[in-house]
Homo-oligomer: A and B are copies of this chain.
Amino acid sequence: MEKTELLSGTLDLLILRVLKSGPVHGFGIGEKIHVLSKEILEVEEGSLYPSLYRMEAKGWIKSDWGQSEKGRRAKIYSLTKNGIRQLDDERESWLRVAFAIGEVLKNA
């Protein structure tokens, strides 16, 4: 069983992407990233929550207290209009850089 990993600088993008499919609570965002990534990516809570606060402070996401699908008290996050724009920017930036790295790695 290989170690799950996370690439520094991509966490915000992943969170924003998950929220684009609809509001999710913090804990659930981490789970969704894990599942969607085929168990390759693992987001530590110590990274997840601080990232959520940063992005809320920047106005990319907003939160409301509510309930998780399991009926527990949970803080539900959703994308703002600025968050949608930020997601588009970060996705494009990711694609550019991933392409560029691919170019350097070519024939490695």
Give the contacting residue for A93; candidates B5, B13, B98; CB below 8 A.
B5
A1 part of interface (Cβ distance < 8 Å): no
Partner of A7, one of B36, B37, B97: B97
Minimum C-beta distance from A95 to chain B (A) = 9
The answer on a CB contact under 8 Å between B105 and A17 is yes
Q: Which residues of B contact A106 (CB under 8 A)?
A: 36
A-side interface residues, number (CB < 8 Å): 33
Partner of A100, one of B13, B20, B37: B37
Q: This chain: how many copies in the complex? A: 2
- Binary interface encoding of chain A residues 70-108 relative to chain B, with 1 for a CB under 8 A from any of its CBs, else 0: 000000000000000001000101101111110111101
Q: Is the CB of B87 within 8 A of A108?
A: yes
Distance in Å: Cβ of A5 to nearest Cβ of chain B: 6
Q: Residues of A with Cβ closer than 8 Å to B?
A: 2, 5-10, 13-14, 17-18, 20, 33, 36-38, 40-41, 87, 91, 93-94, 96-101, 103-106, 108
